[in-house]
């Protein structure tokens, strides 16, 4: 799993930061990409990455402010031109479907693939045999959601030496055991999968929050998460502005991650009021509360390997 930030700014684009968009790359897990928010010019940002729009399987929209959705019609249109054929599912607040379809209608845009819209409410909004995604409302100036993405437990490793000791021959029977199936040998001996596999491995948990002031649901979504992506539009000197405008500070985000027992915190949605020279100060303030903190720039990418978050160069 990888996280790549396509836009890390707040409100409107600046020379340093584009508006909100984040790609959750699940290429190893399912061969697809999930996109969270799609601010203006997201498709242009994608041109500077290895992301292929036709690989985008799902788009999750936190809320309907322009800096989180104005890039959506263009990206959806380009996905047709770039050979996207598979169904795309878009999750978001009520009104998103109407807005996208109206944009297509008045611009006479034709999409060559199916789009499924899911107008979300609190609770589980997606589940299959690999992942479960839960949404909860946050506290912003309009309806806004945060998402908790949980990878289900992975099968344990096959203990080949132990299987061979029990008389399992090379071939498809080993594969069945690895996949959790019990088998019967030619001599009638039954081999249980649990006898020759290690315990299941815990999957990763990623929490991606939309714009929000400090609230209990942020903490609930972040509880014991491996990675929390939290906005930090303001700093502690402008905390009153943060609350009034439905946003958080770097210090407040760090406190949420700490109280939730999270492992890593990634701060984004940084106001243009902060110059590049201010970023280190913002980061140090967060680290005083939650040491495993990062502040991201556009195009930063992180990999999750061996239960460790690795920032790539």
Alpha-carbon dihedral 222, 300, 276, 285, rounded to 10 degrees = 30
Are β-strands 145-151 and 264-268 bridged in parallel, bridged antiparallel, or unpaired? unpaired
Of 278, 280, 227, 274, whose CA–CA distance to 253 is shortest? 227
Cα–Cα distance, 133 to 149 (Å, whole number): 5
Active site residues: 67
Give the pair of three-digit tokens for residue 169.
Answer: 């021959």
Listed in sequence order, the residues at least 6 apart from 264 whose beta carbon sits closer than 8 Å to its beta carbon are 226, 227, 228, 257, 292, 293, 294, 309
Alpha-carbon dihedral 143, 65, 74, 23, rounded to 10 degrees = -70
Q: According to the annotation, is 269 in a ligand binding site?
A: yes
* SS3 at position 73: helix
Q: According to the annotation, is 230 in a ligand binding site?
A: no
Q: According to the annotation, is 67 in a ligand binding site?
A: yes
Cα–Cα distance, 152 to 161 (Å, whole number): 27
Alpha carbon distances (Å) from 4 to 29, 83, 195, 267 = 16, 22, 39, 13
Annotated binding site for Zn(2+): 63, 65, 67-68, 140, 211, 269
């Amino acid at each position: 799993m990888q996280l790549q930030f396509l836009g890390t700014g707040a409100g409107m684009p600046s020379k340093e930061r584009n508006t909100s968009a984040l790609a959750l790359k699940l290429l190893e897990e399912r061969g697809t990409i999930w996109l969270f928010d799609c601010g203006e010019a997201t498709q242009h940002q994608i041109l500077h990455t290895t992301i292929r729009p036709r690989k985008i399987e799902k788009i999750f929209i936190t809320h309907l402010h322009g800096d989180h959705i104005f890039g959506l019609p263009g990206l959806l249109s380009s996905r047709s031109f770039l050979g996207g054929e598979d169904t795309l599912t878009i999750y978001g607040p009520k009104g998103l479907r109407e807005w996208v379809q109206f944009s297509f209608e008045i611009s006479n845009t034709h999409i060559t693939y199916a789009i499924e819209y899911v107008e979300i409410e609190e609770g589980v909004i997606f589940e299959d045999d690999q992942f479960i995604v839960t949404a909860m409302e946050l506290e912003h100036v309009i309806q806004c959601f945060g998402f908790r993405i949980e990878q289900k437990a992975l099968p344990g490793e096959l203990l080949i030496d132990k299987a061979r000791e029990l008389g399992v021959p090379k071939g498809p029977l080993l594969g069945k055991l690895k996949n959790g199936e019990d088998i019967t040998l030619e001599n009638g001996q039954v081999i249980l999968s649990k006898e020759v596999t290690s315990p299941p491995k815990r999957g990763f948990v990623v929490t991606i929050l939309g714009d929000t002031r400090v609230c209990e649901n942020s903490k609930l979504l972040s509880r014991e998460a491996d990675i929390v992506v939290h906005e930090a539009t303001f700093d502690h000197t402008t905390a009153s502005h943060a609350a009034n405008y439905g946003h958080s500070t770097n210090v407040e985000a760090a406190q949420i991650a700490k109280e939730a027992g999270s492992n890593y915190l990634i701060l984004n949605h940084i106001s243009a009021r902060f110059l590049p020279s201010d970023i280190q100060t913002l980061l140090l303030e967060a680290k005083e509360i939650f040491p495993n903190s990062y502040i991201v720039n556009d195009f930063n990418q992180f990999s999750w390997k061996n239960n460790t978050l690795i920032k790539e160069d």
